[in-house]
Amino acid sequence: MVKSFEQLIVLKICDCKMMEQVISSNELVEEEMMCEIFFSKLDTLELEDLPKLARLCHGNYSKFKFSKLRRFTISKCAVLKTLIGDNTVGTENVENTCTPSLFGEKVEFPRLEQVIIKFMGSWSKIWDDKHDVSCCQLNSLTVDSCEKLLNIFPFSMLERVRQKLETLEIQNCDSLEEIFGASLPQDQITTQPTNLVEIAERFLFPELTHINLSKLPKLKGFVPQIHINELPSLKQVKVHGCDEVQIFALEHSGYQLEIPIQWISKRIFLYKRSGRICYMLPARHLVIRYGDDPFFWRWSKPDPRFPEVAELLGVRWFEIHGRTNSRMLSPKTRYKAYLVFKRADTTYGFENTPIEAAVLLGGAEVSKRVVYVQAEGGIVGNGDQYPKERGDNWFEVELGEIEFTKERGGDLEIHLLKDSYKEKCGVIIQGIEIRPN
């Protein structure tokens, strides 16, 4: 029976409501159960809608080897927690405290390229973090609706996975906190940003072109404790419904690409045409004077890809404040802050009206200037700043600049203020963008 697998190329099992295991161990003799089982030609394995499937096979096999398997799909297999189970899996043996994983020590996938995992709500772990799992050729991973997963990969797999990975799509995983779990050894991590950047140089994802992260409410980051991951081939980033993301800083070395951004979370670094990272504080995460009063400001979401914007209905006191921790930004880099806005058809009160803008770092003022949101021209001799139209149908005006060093840290604050008896109306605020000069 074992030999019969040698010519199998494609194995698809779907919609078998009563199936409990693919290979029955009841008919095997002891010698067969202790041997290595080879699927020497199997290229594609699909397991879908098998509500009672507990495992591929139950037994004390030495190893299952899928030497040529390239594509693996599993969906709606509610009770399956591991592909190969020994005689202790599923028992009440108190000594068996390890959480089972789909890919464990008894399976090998040396050529696995594409993995699709959907609707596996009972899983808490995909890869075993204590055994060497061969996935060096993995280039595409899709994970959807696995509500109990805390991470996708153990940290120990980072070096192997990053080499070939091209597409990463993860969505609807309510408990997911990180893409790569665990952490670096504590003796390699300090709170100094420079140390983090030096460590981050290890984590180049040379082939990754597409990232799609959607509805991951607890996701905090891509790689734990790492501020910069280099992705020289990246073409598209889509992030939606990931409001807890705090570190998603990505370095891009190519200057010819314009990366389309579908959605901006409150703390996500984004790509721009320059290839350098930038940081957006959306309007909802700014402190806007009277911003919660619908008589003065109206909040709306005209584009579902982006967060809410704030439209000024009428005030005399125009005041906006933004704040973020400077450790979220790259050290030894000069940044500039910009107000990103539009003017409605009914805009008035800002015509050639100077507005005071200031940038503070650690409570100390480092930049101060006068800006305009409705005026034409560029920088004039006195340093005043005038609005410029961007390529995305929004305007921006420079608010100030700052260079981060080891000696200069703390909270970065940005303030705009204009107090006058002149009524002002019609500007639409998207947020404050902070990007390298």
Query: Which residues neighbour 348 within 8 Å (Cβ) at sequence distance 6 or greater?
Result: 423, 424, 425, 426
Residues 254, 177 within the same domain: yes
Mean pLDDT for the stretch of residues 251-269: 36
Supply the CATH number for residue 429's domain: 2.60.120
- Give 129-175 as a DSSP string: SSS----TT--EEEEES-TT-SEEE-GGGHHHHTTT--EEEEE--TT
Query: Could you say which of 224, 253, 280 is where a domain stops?
Result: 280
Q: How far apart are CA 276 and CA 269, in angstroms?
A: 10
Query: Which residues neighbour 362 within 8 Å (Cβ) at sequence distance 6 or greater?
Result: 326, 408, 409, 410, 411
User: CA distances (Å), 152 to each of 101, 175, 417, 432, in order?
Assistant: 11, 11, 45, 33
Three-class SS state of 55: strand
Structure tokens at 51: 């509500």
Please determine, for residue 182, whether its predicted confidence score (pLDDT) is greater than 80: no
Structure tokens at 119: 């609707």
pLDDT value at position 314?
Answer: 93
Residues 196, 343 within the same domain: no
Please determine, for residue 359, whether its predicted confidence score (pLDDT) is greater than 80: yes
Amino acid at site 181: G
pLDDT value at position 233?
Answer: 74
Please determine, for residue 186, whether its predicted confidence score (pLDDT) is greater than 50: no
Q: How far apart are CA 247 and CA 189, in angstroms?
A: 15
3-state secondary structure string, 235-277?
A: CEEEEECCCCCCECCEECCCCCCCCCECCCCCCCEEECCCCCE
Q: Please, are residues 48 and 21 in contact by the beta-carbon 8 Å criterion? A: no
For the ranges 10-24, 179-193, 285-299, 405-419, the maximum mean pLDDT occurs at: 285-299
Average pLDDT in the chain: 75
Please determine, for residue 284, whether its predicted confidence score (pLDDT) is greater than 50: yes
Residue-wise pLDDT for 370-391, tens only, equals 999 887 554 455 678 889 988 7
Q: Which domain holds residue 63?
A: 2-280
Residues 162, 25 within the same domain: yes
pLDDT value at position 403?
Answer: 79
Q: 128 or 296, which is more confident?
A: 296
Residues 292, 167 within the same domain: no
Residues 208, 311 within the same domain: no
Q: Please, are residues 372 and 319 in contact by the beta-carbon 8 Å criterion? A: no
Q: Please, are residues 427 and 348 in contact by the beta-carbon 8 Å criterion? A: no
Query: Could you say which of 280, 298, 320 is where a domain stops?
Result: 280
Percent of the chain with pLDDT over 90: 28
Domain count, the chain: 2
Query: Could you say which of 264, 280, 296 is where a domain stops?
Result: 280
Residues 251, 270 within the same domain: yes
Q: How far apart are CA 108 and CA 111, in angstroms?
A: 9
Residues 248, 296 within the same domain: no
Residues 201, 90 within the same domain: yes
Please determine, for residue 249, whether its predicted confidence score (pLDDT) is greater than 70: no
pLDDT value at position 61?
Answer: 58
Helices (H), 298-417: none
Residues 216, 343 within the same domain: no
Residues 369, 415 within the same domain: yes
Residues 198, 288 within the same domain: no
Residues 222, 243 within the same domain: yes
Mean pLDDT for the stretch of residues 192-199: 35
Grade residue 90 by pLDDT with cuts at 50, 70 and 90. Answer: very low
pLDDT value at position 92?
Answer: 39
Q: How far apart are CA 199 and CA 188, in angstroms?
A: 8
pLDDT value at position 37?
Answer: 62
